[in-house]
Amino acid sequence: MDEYGALSVVTDTGYVEIAKDFTFSDISVSASTGDIKCFADAQNAIKIKASTGAISVQGVEAKSLDLHVSTGNVNASGIAVTDSLTLRVTTGRATLTDVTCHSFTSHGDTGDISLKNVIVTDKMHIERDTGDVKFDACDAGEMFIKTDTGDVTGTLLSEKIFIPNSDTGDVSVPKTLTGGRCEIITDTGDIKIDIK
């Protein structure tokens, strides 16, 4: 596999795809309008930003991964990040599958976030204004989840000390007394978590 220095791509309108056959020291992609697909590894950071368009990252390894989209969906799968994974979505759905990282932070205004087999060794922090947060066989050392309008549901892999709070929704969490802190806050939404 060929190894290269830093890759930087800036485009106003267009489609960007970075093939799996390459490894870079750093990857930086910024697009105003257009989809971005990344299959390449980076020794350090991968940063992808799109104003309007979808972001797809599959089968990559990096020290850190930063994904930011204003209007559009994010799909990340088969990701191994040794440090931090940051995901920012203004309006759109985010789906993460088979992801490992040290820390995970996600902020969004409008849109659901779905996580399947996402393993975070340290802290997971997710905030949404309008949108559901869904877990399927996920885990983290500590978790902080907050939504204004949206449900928080799904399954975790290990016991947690749950601290749930919903103003107007139903709350159902395991009555476990060991594990890391898991604080879940919703204004108008249900909280339903199980241990798988």
Condensed to tens digits (0 to 9), the pLDDT of residues 79-125 reads 999 999 999 999 999 999 999 999 999 999 999 999 999 999 999 99
Share of the chain above pLDDT 70, in %: 99
Instruction: Read off the pLDDT of residues 28-49 as tens digits, 9 standing for 90 and up.
Output: 999 999 999 999 999 999 999 9
Nearest alpha-carbon partner for 67 in 80, 49, 79, 54: 49
What is the rounded end-to-end Cα distance, in angstroms, of the chain? 39
Average pLDDT score over the chain: 95
Instruction: Check pLDDT > 80 for residue 179.
Output: yes
Which pLDDT does position 1 carry in this prediction?
Answer: 58
Q: What's the confidence (pLDDT) of residue 102?
A: 98
Q: Answer yes or no: are the C-beta atoms of 99 and 85 closer than 8 Å.
A: yes
Q: How far apart are CA 166 and CA 128, in angstroms?
A: 14
What is the pLDDT at residue 14?
84
Cα 56 to Cα 3, 20, 39, 50, 146: the distances in Å are 22, 13, 9, 11, 25
User: What is residue 3's predicted lDDT score, i.e. its pLDDT?
Assistant: 79
